[in-house]
C-alpha cells in the first residue's frame, strides 16, 4: 500500500551526486590540476557503462563508468571535439570537431574507420539508432545533412519554406529522422 504512494514521488535520476571522475597523470601519479586540457562534450553509451569525453585538445577519452578509470584515449582531431554519438551497440563512436571533420571510430581497435570533411565547423552529429549506416550532421550556418556511410552520399535536409533551423535533434526512438524548426 505504501509503495503506491512512494511511486508518485519516484524520480528517474539521483537526487545527489554519487561520485566523480578524477584524472591522474600517467607519468608521475600526481593530480592533473595544472593541465590545460578540459572537457567540451560528453556522451554516455546506451547502457551507461562507458562515457566518451571530447576534449579541447582534440582527444577523446573513453571512461569505464564502473571502475571510474580511463579505458582508451583516441587522438581524434586537430581542434576541439564539439559533439559525440555512440552507435546502438556501443562498438562505434561518432565525433565532430571544429576542424570541419566528422569521424567514425571503432572503439575496440581505436581505429578511425571513416572521415568526412565539411566546409565549416560541425556543431552536432548523431547516429541513426535504427539504421547504423546513417548519420545526421549539423554544420554551422548550413542545413542538416544525412550521410549514408557505405556510399558517403550526403542528403541535404531542405526546409519547405524560408524558416531557419534553430533546434535540431535526432529522434532515437523512431525509425526516421525528425528535424524540428522554429521561426
Q: Output phi, psi for 52, to 5 deg.
A: -100, 130
Domain ranges of the chain: 37-170
- For the stretch 23-41, pLDDT in tens is 765 544 444 444 578 899 9
pLDDT of the residue at 18? 73
> Which residue(s) pair with 154 in the sheet?
147
**Residue 23 in contact with residue 53, Cβ under 8 Å?**
no
The mean-pLDDT minimum among 62-71, 88-97, 132-141, 168-177 falls in 168-177
For the ranges 27-36, 61-70, 89-98, the lowest mean pLDDT is seen at 27-36
Q: What's the confidence (pLDDT) of residue 35?
A: 54
Residue 161 backbone phi and psi in degrees, to 5: -130, -165
CA distance 122 to 144: 10
Rounded to two decimals, the pTM is: 0.74
Residue 30, pLDDT score: 45
Inter-residue contact 102 to 123 (CB < 8 Å): no
C-alpha cell at 9: 514521488
Q: Using alpha carbons, list the distances in angstroms from residue 119 to 87, 141, 151.
A: 25, 10, 19
CA gap 65, 2 in Å, rounded: 34
pLDDT tens, 42-55? 999 999 999 999 99
Q: How confident is the model at residue 79 (pLDDT cuts 50, 70, 90)?
A: very high
Task: Please tell us whether the domain made up of 37-170 is placed in CATH 3.40.50.1100.
Answer: no
Strand order across the 153-156 sheet: 122-127, 134-139, 145-148, 153-156
What pLDDT, on the 0 to 100 scale, is given for residue 28? 45
Least confident among 5-9, 73-77, 107-111, 113-117? 5-9
Amino acid at each position: 500500500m505504501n509503495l503506491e504512494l512512494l511511486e508518485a514521488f519516484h524520480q528517474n535520476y539521483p537526487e545527489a551526486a554519487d561520485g566523480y571522475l578524477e584524472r591522474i597523470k600517467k607519468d608521475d601519479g600526481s593530480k592533473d590540476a595544472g593541465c590545460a586540457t578540459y572537457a567540451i562534450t560528453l556522451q554516455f553509451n546506451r547502457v551507461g557503462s562507458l562515457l566518451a569525453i571530447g576534449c579541447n585538445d582534440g582527444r577523446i577519452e573513453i571512461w569505464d563508468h564502473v571502475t571510474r578509470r580511463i579505458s582508451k584515449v583516441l587522438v581524434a582531431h586537430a581542434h576541439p571535439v564539439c559533439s559525440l554519438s555512440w552507435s546502438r551497440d556501443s562498438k562505434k563512436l561518432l565525433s565532430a570537431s571544429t576542424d570541419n571533420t566528422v569521424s567514425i571510430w571503432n572503439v575496440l581497435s581505436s581505429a578511425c574507420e571513416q572521415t568526412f570533411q565539411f566546409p565549416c565547423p560541425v556543431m552536432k552529429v548523431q547516429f541513426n539508432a535504427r539504421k547504423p549506416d546513417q548519420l545526421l550532421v549539423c554544420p554551422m550556418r548550413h542545413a542538416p545533412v544525412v550521410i549514408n556511410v557505405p556510399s558517403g552520399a550526403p542528403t541535404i535536409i531542405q526546409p519547405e519554406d524560408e524558416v531557419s533551423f534553430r533546434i535540431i535533434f535526432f529522434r532515437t526512438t523512431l525509425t526516421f529522422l525528425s528535424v524540428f524548426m522554429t521561426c
